């Protein structure tokens, strides 16, 4: 997390580009303003000094979502905090009551929620499964959390799938191990 001109940004990507001859290199970045959600792609010189923020990470329990706000509770003190859905992004769709997630705070303000990269969700409805010789064929599936994702043709209703939390894209089917009878 960085503070630039009074605004707080999360570093999404940073890449160093070497300069030629006497030209110094440049650091290309992608930053997200945590208050507005806007993406910014500034370039910095390697010698520029930026203010890095020290965050406090607390384990919070998700309680409920109402409108554009999600309410979390600190389990040890029962203190409740409302976080705008804009900060959570696409990951808000995967929150379930009772789920514990780390929340980053700066000066008492919740700035971001650390979600796992992949979440599991059960398929509520989709077309019947088909086996196709094509690996690139997809169909739409509605998950129990209400999210619609594209899944391969072999996925059936009731199966659990893994979805990329940032993009909402299908990653893989969750395999259920069956016990063999002796």
pTM to 2 decimals?
A: 0.68
CA–CA dist 62, 96 (Å, integer): 7
* CATH architecture entry for 2-52: Roll (2.30)
Which of these, 16, 12, 8, lies nearest to 107 by C-alpha position? 8
126-138 pLDDT, tens digit each: 888 887 666 678 8
Average pLDDT on 112-126 reads: 88
pLDDT: which is higher, 166 or 161: 161
The yes-or-no verdict on residue 62 having pLDDT over 90 is: yes
Q: How many CB atoms lie within 10 A of CB 127?
A: 13
Tokens matching residue 138: 């997809």
CA–CA dist 8, 31 (Å, integer): 9
Query: CA 146, 151, 153 angle in degrees (round to 5)?
Result: 130
Which of these, 134, 121, 132, 130, lies nearest to 172 by C-alpha position? 121
Average pLDDT on 70-86 reads: 90
End-to-end CA distance of the chain: 55
For the domain 118-173, what is the CATH superfamily, name and number?
Nucleic acid-binding proteins (2.40.50.140)
Q: Where in the chain is the domain with CATH 2.40.50.140?
A: 56-113, 118-173
Q: Of 3.40.190.10, 2.40.50.140, 3.30.1330.180, 2.60.40.1840, which CATH number belongs to 56-113?
A: 2.40.50.140
| Lowest-confidence pick of 35-44, 75-84, 120-129 | 35-44
């Amino acid at each position: 997390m960085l503070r630039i001109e009074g605004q707080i940004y999360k570093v999404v990507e940073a890449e160093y580009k070497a300069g030629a001859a006497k030209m110094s290199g440049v650091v290309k970045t992608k930053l997200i303003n945590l208050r507005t959600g806007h993406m910014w792609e500034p370039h910095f010189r390697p010698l520029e000094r930026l203010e890095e923020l020290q965050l406090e990470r607390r384990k919070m329990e998700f309680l409920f979502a109402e409108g554009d706000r999600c309410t979390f509770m600190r389990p040890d003190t029962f203190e409740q905090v409302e976080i705008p859905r804009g900060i959570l992004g696409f990951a808000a769709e995967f929150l379930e009551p009772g789920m514990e997630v780390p929340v980053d705070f700066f000066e008492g303000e919740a700035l971001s929620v650390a979600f796992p990269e992949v979440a599991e969700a059960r398929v509520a409805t989709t077309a019947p499964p088909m086996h196709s010789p094509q690996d690139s064929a997809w169909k739409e599936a509605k998950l129990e959390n209400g999210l619609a994702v594209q899944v391969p043709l072999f996925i059936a209703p009731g199966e659990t799938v893994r979805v990329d939390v940032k993009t909402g894209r299908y990653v893989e089917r969750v395999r259920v191990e069956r016990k063999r009878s002796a």
